[in-house]
Chain A
């Protein structure tokens, strides 16, 4: 425990996701001791980000305008929507440059333990986007964990409608790695989830 304001800083930093007490302490002392560290710039950005950034009216991605850059881009195909849990997943998929359609950010996954049910996710907004028949494929790209799978299967029941294809991202072995170094759990799962490629 440190005195007063120093401990308060450590406590506040420790509330951030992914930052434990040790890292919080390390960051706090970096801020205190490093002269080159521009505290007022950080403070400004923190305030600004709260004021300026909001969520895209259409897809729920982060943006500084009513609609995000992806939704505004006329070159993107409006026929495909990729459904993800968080805005950071949009960024991850964008980095692949593989996908040319639009996104829909749910804002989480179904998880009773965390008090999240379907009504807490942006599912109603998704259904509205599908109403006029422009969209012909929904790709469900929720996380490949239990809650992500549960959300995917809830959605796939809900999204049964004519002329709509619903697909799920394949999960399995990490690419770029060697098969022999994949751990047995991942490798075992990959076997379970194998797909037919021929015949």
Chain B
């Protein structure tokens, strides 16, 4: 059964140095508050898994939390490069970052295989592409029935999956709405999971019988962090702060301005700071 606790306690109990960590959310519901907490608790040597490393991993990499990144697209969507990730890859600052690179289809299939308890994912992919030449974790397999040549990648089985969702109920079930990405697969593939939510409610009330719900017994820890996806968004709560994504480019371009921003907004703040984003954005949306 999931347990409701503070974000500090959830990270303290579930994220360890050297862990393989998947923080998911496909543009939507990115668990930024949880990412900040991992930085504040100074976790080290993490293998960071995520289909689309954007600001959340730029921050973790820039603060020296990561040794490796497994990904399929990395950048600040619609804006440009991730300067902290590039600095780590190109200059080893603040420490070197190993990369394991896939396509989206491969990553999505690999999470699904992890959730399904399979050792690998099989799909039709990478045909004529160069990634299999540089990533030894991409292999070819032939269909035992038709002989068709297909691609295979290892299943993703993170030590811990961290996601953000709209609501949990008093029994510890989690409801995810909108662009649901690979969050369900990531949680079911992982050994442990932390879910931050906009709010904990008595009851989910009216919902579709096919709503995307993670039952309490599939989740390790739940923490209520309103605004916890900012500057990403929470469908039904607040919008994506596109202006912040644009502003991040200048903040992260320079090591000193990045360090100053992280000190003022992460190291010297707590998860409760995110609530202001939620309230402000919600009012602006009205």
Partners in one complex: no
Residues on A lying within 8 angstroms of B by beta carbon are none
